[in-house]
Amino acid sequence: HTSFVMYDCDPLKKYKTIDDTNILTELDARWPQLTSTKIIGLQFQRFWEYEYRKHGTCCADVFNQSMYFDISMKLTDSIDLLKILRTKGIKPGYTYTGDQISRAIKSVTQNNPNPKCTYIGRSLELT
């Protein structure tokens, strides 16, 4: 199996598989692993590992892995991105430019978002 992990800050930092079923349930509800089935996602946690190794290792000197995911879930709960987009007229299933999406998010959060489009299979999706 070839790994697609890109390390941004600490390539030596290891991801610890999450075993706590309560945390897994909460994390899956907020940050589902859309590139695999739920069972495989919960077992192998490739997406969460990718996110932690890419972003979480950048703050590992302040927040451990558990804290990183806890903060991520709290941020998800505080900012309903899909609601923001719907309120600004951006709906799933339609095509929008990156600027349209960025402006919609910035109008609510006052921060400059960095949305990217990635091919998942044959579909181009916002990441």
- Same-domain status, 41 and 55: yes
Contact 63, 10 (CB under 8 A): no
The model carries a pTM of 0.65
User: pLDDT tens digit string along 18-69?
Assistant: 999 999 999 999 888 877 888 999 999 999 998 999 899 998 889 999 999 9
User: pLDDT tens digit string along 101-124?
Assistant: 888 888 888 877 777 766 667 766
Say if 99 falls within a structural domain: yes
Q: What's the domain count of the chain?
A: 2
Query: What letter does residue 126 receive in the DSSP assignment?
Result: E
Say if 3 falls within a structural domain: no
Cα→Cα distances 33→11, 63, 65, 105, 114, Å: 22, 22, 17, 23, 20
Say if 11 falls within a structural domain: no
- Same-domain status, 54 and 98: no
CA 13 to chain centre: 19
For residue 48, the enclosing domain spans 21-78
Nearest to 41 by CA among 53, 24, 16: 24
- Same-domain status, 86 and 71: no
- Same-domain status, 89 and 103: yes
Say if 6 falls within a structural domain: no
* Calpha distance 36→42 (Å, rounded): 9
Say if 85 falls within a structural domain: yes
* Calpha distance 1→54 (Å, rounded): 19
Cα→Cα distances 61→12, 22, 35, 55, 57, Å: 13, 26, 30, 12, 8
- Same-domain status, 51 and 66: yes
